Amino acid sequence: MKTRSQMAIRRELRGFAYSGDFRIEPQKDFPGMKGHILWTYDSGAKKFYELSLDDAGGVLRGESGGMQDGRMVWSEEGAMMGKPTKGTTTIVTKAKKQIEIQFSAQGSGGWTMSGTDRCTKT
């Protein structure tokens, strides 16, 4: 299903963290969703960490080793709709102001692609 979404990202704590608010528009078969995300970097572990929450009760915690060859891969786990979940989010640089975000989830049959967002900085 195709949906429209929007995310606004802000620098926090003099650039030592970033936070964002996201919204996915409602569709005929989807009630829509709003959420909040926080990213930070642990210089001792040399890893990025994230926490994502949404108004459907979802929570994800993730970590990434950072940008490598134009991509940043996040390994995530948490809960969606009250059920445990594992996933990956891959951020791919497409152009100076454009990225693609690819979502995969682990299910009983293995890993499946669960969505793609194409984002342009305005």
pTM: 0.79
User: Would you state the pLDDT for residue 65?
Assistant: 95
Is residue 60 within 8 Å of residue 39, measured between CB atoms? no
Start-to-end C-alpha separation, the chain: 25
* Ranges assigned E (strand) in the chain: 5-12, 17-24, 33-42, 47-54, 59-64, 67-68, 71-80, 83-95, 98-107, 110-120
Domain with 40, as residue range(s), is 5-120
Residue 115 has pLDDT above 80, yes or no: no
Span 31-83, pLDDT tens digits: 888 999 999 999 999 999 999 999 988 999 999 999 999 999 999 999 987 88
Calpha distance 10→3 (Å, rounded): 23
How does DSSP classify residue 14? G
User: Would you state the pLDDT for residue 20?
Assistant: 92
Domain count, the chain: 1
User: Would you state the pLDDT for residue 77?
Assistant: 95
